[in-house]
Amino acid sequence: MPVLVVGADTEMGKAAVDALLSRDGEVRAFVTDPGVALDLKKRGVKVATGDVSDASHVGGAATSVFSAVLVSAAATDDRERSFAATPLAVARAWAEGLSDARVKRIIWVGPSTLAEEAGLSACAPEFAVVEANDVSMAATMVAEFDERAEL
């Protein structure tokens, strides 16, 4: 089933894409960096480039996906965000976009407090948090959560 990685242009996002590409299924990526987009396309990933703080951009990229992997670093790093001034506002935009797209499963990668404040667990029937300090371990956990029949 299709999976979207929001923040695939972060270190964690790239590792998550790598882990997800190792199994069958469509992998999509939402990035801000066009250079990363080109590299991902060459690897067979369907890529949307846009503003991570725009709910309509994220929702459009998430159309018809089963799972969405949200890399919290994309809400907190130094990239430009035109539609949200704070990480919480970005996470709320993601919640709105994913809710509109009717995503079935959300996998949050990062500290759970931001996801909780944004209300992400209420935006999909299934919700999981990956709070691993090791990028490789976290990417493995993302792929395992995506593969499960249910959370």
Within 8 A by CB and 6+ apart from 87, the residues are 72, 75, 76, 114
Within 8 A by CB and 6+ apart from 131, the residues are 110, 111, 112
On whether the CB atoms of residues 71 and 132 are closer than 8 A, the answer is: no
Q: What is the pLDDT of residue 64?
A: 97
The C-alpha angle 29, 31, 35, rounded to 5 degrees, equals 105
On whether the CB atoms of residues 74 and 68 are closer than 8 A, the answer is: no
Task: Name the strands in the sheet holding 105-109, side by side, starting at the edge strand that comes first in the sequence.
Answer: 46-49, 27-31, 3-6, 67-71, 105-109, 126-130
Q: DSSP letter at 96?
A: H
Q: What is the pLDDT of residue 148?
A: 92
Strand partners, 31: 49
Q: What is the pLDDT of residue 1?
A: 87
Q: What is the pLDDT of residue 71?
A: 97
Q: What is the pLDDT of residue 83?
A: 85
The single residue listed with the structure tokens 């976009």 is 97
Q: What is the pLDDT of residue 63?
A: 97
- Terminal alpha carbon distance of the chain: 15
Q: What is the pLDDT of residue 81?
A: 83
Give 45's Cβ-side CA count (13 Å radius).
32
CA–CA dist 32, 35 (Å, integer): 9
**Please, what are the averages of pLDDT over each run of 10 residues along the chain (151 residues)?**
96 97 95 94 96 95 98 90 90 97 98 95 96 91 93 87
Domain-wise residue ranges, the chain: 11-23+51-147
